[in-house]
Amino acid sequence: MKPLLIKNGRVVDPAAGLDARRDLLIEDGRLAALDTRIERPDADVFDAANLVVAPGFIDLHVHLREPGKEAAETVSSGTAAAAAGGFTAVAAMPNTQPVNDSALVTRFILAQAARGPVRVYPVGAVTKGTAGEELAEIESMREAGIRAVSDDGRPVWNSRLLRRALEYCLALDLPLVDHCEDPHLAAGGVMHEGEWSLRLGLRGIPALAEELPVLRDTLLAKLTGARLHLAHLSTRGALEFVRRAKQDGVRVTCEVTPHHFTLTDEACRDFDARAKMNPPLRTADDVAALVEGLADGAVDAIATDHAPHSETEKQTDFESAPFGVIGLETALALALEKLYHTQKISLLRLVELFSTNPARILGVEGGRLAVGAPADITIFDPERRWTYRAAEGASQSHNSPFDGWTLRGAPVATLVAGRFAFRQ
Amino acid sequence: MPPPKTLARLSQRHLLGVEPLSAEDIELVLATAQKYQTRTATETRPVPRLELLRGKTLTLAFFEPSTRTRVSFEMAAQRLGMNTVNLALEASSVQKGESLLDTVKTLAAMRPNALVIRHAASGVPHFLARHTDVPILNAGDGQHEHPTQALLDALTIRDHKGTLGGLKVAILGDLLHSRVARSNIHLLAKFGTRIALAGPPPLVPKAFERLAPSVAVCARIEEALAEADVVMMLRVQLERQREPLFASPAEYARHYCLTPSRLAHAKPDAIVMHPGPFLRGIDIAGEVADSPRSVIPHQVENGVAVRMALLELLVGGAG
């Protein structure tokens, strides 16, 4: 393969504190050189003038649905959507059918992913079947290649079991990713509990249903010393508990989704099931708190919680529809629009949230532009205006609340190990 | 007010709720209903079938059991000369796994002139309205709205009090699970009526005050009743509670049943309403339900007139 020379780009690499015009040379799938001016007559040239060149984005929270729900998404379609969204790697949540709670399922997912355009980091279940009762085979899954454990979709509600799992995670250097939801406080709820749920006559999920388990989890992380990562936080109170735990030296990180920092519970007003997800869309005050946290470091990562559902499943009334929205192909644009173009965060911070920190949380290579390392690179145009059409996206499912939105900023090319996984 | 001419139309093509209606829409419905009400109240011979909507079809799709609302719609339709198709959905394709959308598309393909829908889930009529051109009348969706009930209640209040504004209306009982309460709050608030709510604390969240400025959540039932012109009782919706929100029906009755002594806190000429079916001795004491203060039978009678008015406004002139 010919070398590839990416010229004239604005290279943003938080790990190196770099935000400047640079050229990059990619050879044999690796980053061979990074300099102010590189000349290589034998190389293919990619002109990145007016574009941002960043270490590859890693989505910590994706549901690829395979095995079991191939009508909604497959490893192949989900990773294609990831590439189109500027992601070079995704962490695949274990709530498939069967659940990824054994080395066998982990190996199957990795085998499917070997043919896909981006890297897949399987997340193993904490408990068998994510049923919350018995520990899953965490050590065997670790040997097979999982990069984190989670019962996502459900909390690990038994505190004793969570403690045991954290003890394993400490020894195996795996993060435990918890979905914070008190099942009793949240029971039967379909949207945020507040004025809108009351108005619409829909059962509410109070903010406290998320906040109480955040507090519990951080205390257990402190007790065990293990690494805790909190999925899709959505309330001001949840972030407050994370801030306190971080000040207290607890090894805790957290992520926020683009839909939670963009929309409020008012989006449910027409009973549109595309606004139904768990955790639910919260209030304007919560959105403001999430944006603050994304800016000041309380939040470590932006993750999509990409949750595909087939039209058949989602084309029903609000109460009956399943929770979840897709997000891989709109995440970068929403972050640029809602965080960068509003001057809440810099491009350095944006890349930190999409790449540097996710790599660190998963403990994987990447998240930086290191000479000699595999060339996983995201190139995007922070200015390009485009209209998102869910039906034309790479994901097999179309359940997005942003369908038809005109957005500012878009991925232009996604390189995984030096190859174009996506090119606009 | 004289009956409006047939050109007068609602601002909405569906009746999904009271919330999207304007005060003018509501005035139009009530004025149209009065036309039918006068005829039914003063005629001594059998009520003639009015032929205004002859040859048109009303399909009633009740995904949740109902007797009075369904019968009231059927009578309203028949009096206007409409044919009615009544679907017992418990026994139909819903049980065979057909999706909600497919069921309703099938019904719409039979080209009824309007579709009356009741469903246990909030928002079902709104979802279906996005997928069909047939006018939809919401006959109750989950805990959200029951617009025809609120409109017939408004007509009843106006019959007895001459007005909707300038009154105090107490709405008591299980507010949280009540679509009747939500529709009534939206309707009365559009006329500036003072609305006082009370009931078991978990069933009357303070957030109700955010629905409209004239709504007050009262800590005690007596406070809500004080100087009330209208007392609306709600049924304890045991079937909608997924958790025990009070200790027992007896405990509820002891503290929230509308007894003569509690009613004494309201104005001496206050009327008592209930959307029915009422639980005698739990929601409302027998002495109160049977007293001349109770306008419950009048509500039922007005239900037919209001539904006739709505059919005229939504179906009339549409084909």
Q: Which of A201, A273, A317 lies at the smallest CB-CB distance from B182?
A: A201
Decide if A198 and B208 are in contact by the 8 Å CB cutoff. yes
Selected residue with higher pLDDT from B45 and A210: A210
Q: Which of B19, B100, B182 lies at the smallest CB-CB distance from A316?
A: B100
pLDDT at A200: 98
3-class DSSP state of B224: helix
Judged by a CB distance cut-off of 8 A, whether residue B20 touches chain A is no
Residue B89 banded pLDDT, cuts 50, 70, 90? confident
Decide if B211 and A312 are in contact by the 8 Å CB cutoff. no
Judged by a CB distance cut-off of 8 A, whether residue B202 touches chain A is no
Q: Which residues touch B33 (CB under 8 Å, ≥6 apart)?
A: B151, B152, B155, B302, B305, B306, B308, B309
pLDDT at B51: 81
Decide if A317 and B205 are in contact by the 8 Å CB cutoff. no
d(CA B176, CA A202): 10
Q: Which residues touch B247 (CB under 8 Å, ≥6 apart)?
A: none
3-class DSSP state of B4: coil
Q: Which of B123, B205, B243 lies at the smallest CB-CB distance from A271?
A: B123
Rounded to an integer, the average pLDDT of A225-252 is 98
Express each pLDDT in A292-329 by its tens digit. Answer: 999 999 999 999 999 999 988 888 999 999 999 999 99
Closest residue of chain B to A320, computed from CA coordinates: B121
Inter-residue contact B217 to B198 (CB < 8 Å): yes
Rounded to an integer, the average pLDDT of A43-57 is 98
The yes-or-no verdict on residue B3 having pLDDT over 90 is no
d(CA B145, CA A149): 43
**What are the residues facing A2 on neighbouring strands?**
none
CB pairs under 8 A between A and B: 62
Closest CA relative to residue A403, chosen from A275, A281, A249: A275
Rounded to an integer, the average pLDDT of A113-141 is 97
Decide if B121 and A320 are in contact by the 8 Å CB cutoff. yes
Judged by a CB distance cut-off of 8 A, whether residue B118 touches chain A is no
Closest residue of chain A to B19, computed from CA coordinates: A199
A270: which chain B residues are within 8 Å (Cβ-Cβ)? 126
Decide if B122 and A200 are in contact by the 8 Å CB cutoff. yes
Express each pLDDT in A319-353 by its tens digit. Answer: 999 999 999 999 999 999 999 999 999 999 999 99
Choose, from A305, A317, A376, A403, the residue flagged as catalytic.
Answer: A305
Closest CA relative to residue A84, chosen from A418, A415, A420, A411: A411
Decide if A319 and B122 are in contact by the 8 Å CB cutoff. yes
Q: Which residues of A touch B (CB under 8 A)?
A: 187-188, 194-195, 198-203, 270-271, 273, 312, 315-320
Q: Which of B122, B127, B208 lies at the smallest CB-CB distance from A202?
A: B122
The yes-or-no verdict on residue B95 having pLDDT over 80 is no
The yes-or-no verdict on residue A418 having pLDDT over 70 is yes
Decide if B121 and A199 are in contact by the 8 Å CB cutoff. no
Inter-residue contact A253 to A298 (CB < 8 Å): no
B204: which chain A residues are within 8 Å (Cβ-Cβ)? none
**Residues of B belonging to the active site:** 68-69, 96, 118, 146
3-class DSSP state of B99: coil
Write the DSSP symbol of residue A53.
Answer: E
pLDDT > 70: percent of chain A: 100
d(CA A361, CA A175): 7
Q: Which of A188, A199, A319 lies at the smallest CB-CB distance from B121?
A: A319
Decide if A317 and B100 are in contact by the 8 Å CB cutoff. yes
The yes-or-no verdict on residue B4 having pLDDT over 50 is no
